[in-house]
């Protein structure tokens, strides 16, 4: 299947948000805890609004992989950090603050805050974010295409690529040369999670780095 990368449009955000839920929820335990009822209408709206908030700044790019007949298979959000600004000030605009009025079935707000606060501490100069491919097309090569695009851009701009990986994605990142440099763990049982898969409820996210700068 042949796909081409394009800059995403704001009108694509409903489709890309749906892809994100469909790609991540079935396999990622922390997301299943955060969204106990899956992709509800209100949860989807919050996801779209979150992306709209981050859509227009010049250092943010949304990229989509599209088939020849116009079907969006995957998308990614890329950040380019301004190193002349303090990290805390640079990231403050993008910190994820879930709406308090959401029902507990739409989102486990306590779990969301605890998880994303931990992830934010890893972000430093991370540029690859919200990478999702529809589960029906995860062997299409679209994800690899995104990483190759990012690597070419990073080489051109002379900076390294950072990404936060789920446990399920570690081997995929390592295939492209990413290496683990930091991690963050959260005890999901404190937010209603279960002691499953021999992990005793501990979920670990890993900061990966691909060194491409010269």
CB atoms within 10 A of CB 190: 11
- Give SS3 for 62: strand
Contacts of 198 (CB under 8 A, 6+ apart): none
pLDDT score for 99: 66
Q: What is the pTM for the complete model shown?
A: 0.74
In whole angstroms, what is the distance from residue 87 CA to residue 129 CA?
17
How high is the pLDDT of residue 208?
84
> Is 207 or 91 the better-scoring residue by pLDDT?
207
User: Do 133 and 74 contact (CB within 8 A), yes or no?
Assistant: yes
* Residue 122 reports pLDDT greater than 60: no
Note down the domain range covering 111.
3-210
Q: In total, how many domains does the chain have?
A: 1
Task: Name the burial class of residue 43, with classes exposed (0-12), middle (13-18) and buried (19+) by CB atoms within 10 angstroms of its CB.
Answer: buried
Q: Which strands form 179-187's sheet, in the order they lie side by side?
A: 3-7, 60-67, 72-79, 128-133, 161-165, 202-210, 179-187
Rounded Cα distance, 109 and 105, in Å? 10
CA distance 173 to 140: 16
What does the pLDDT average to over 104-129?
66
Q: How far is CA 60 from CA 63, 129, 130, in A?
A: 10, 10, 12
Q: Residue 65 sits in a domain of what CATH number?
A: 3.40.630.30
The predicted pLDDT at position 150 comes to 85
Strand partners, 4: 66
- Of the CA atoms within 13 Å of residue 202, those in its CB half-sphere come to 7
Mean pLDDT over 166-174 rounds to: 87
Could you tell me if 112 and 34 are in contact, meaning their C-beta atoms sit under 8 angstroms apart? yes
């Amino acid at each position: 299947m042949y796909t081409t990368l394009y800059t995403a449009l704001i009108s694509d955000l409903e489709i890309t948000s749906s892809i994100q839920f469909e790609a991540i929820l079935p396999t990622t335990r922390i997301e299943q805890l955060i969204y106990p009822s899956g992709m509800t209408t209100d949860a989807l709206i919050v996801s779209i609004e979150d992306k709209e908030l981050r859509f227009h700044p010049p250092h943010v790019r949304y990229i989509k992989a599209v088939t020849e007949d116009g079907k969006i298979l995957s998308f990614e959000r890329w950040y380019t950090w301004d190193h002349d600004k303090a990290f805390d000030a640079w990231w403050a605009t993008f910190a994820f603050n879930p709406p308090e009025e959401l029902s507990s079935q739409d989102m486990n707000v306590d779990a969301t805050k605890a998880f994303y606060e931990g992830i934010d501490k890893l972000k430093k100069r991370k540029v690859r974010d919200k990478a999702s491919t529809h589960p029906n097309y995860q062997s299409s090569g679209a994800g690899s295409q995104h990483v190759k695009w990012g690597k070419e851009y990073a080489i051109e701009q002379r900076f390294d690529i950072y990404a936060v990986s789920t446990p399920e994605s570690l081997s995929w990142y390592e295939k492209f040369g990413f290496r683990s440099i930091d991690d963050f763990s959260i005890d999901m049982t404190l937010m209603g999670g279960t002691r499953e898969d021999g992990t005793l409820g501990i979920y670990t996210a890993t900061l990966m780095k691909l060194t491409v700068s010269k």
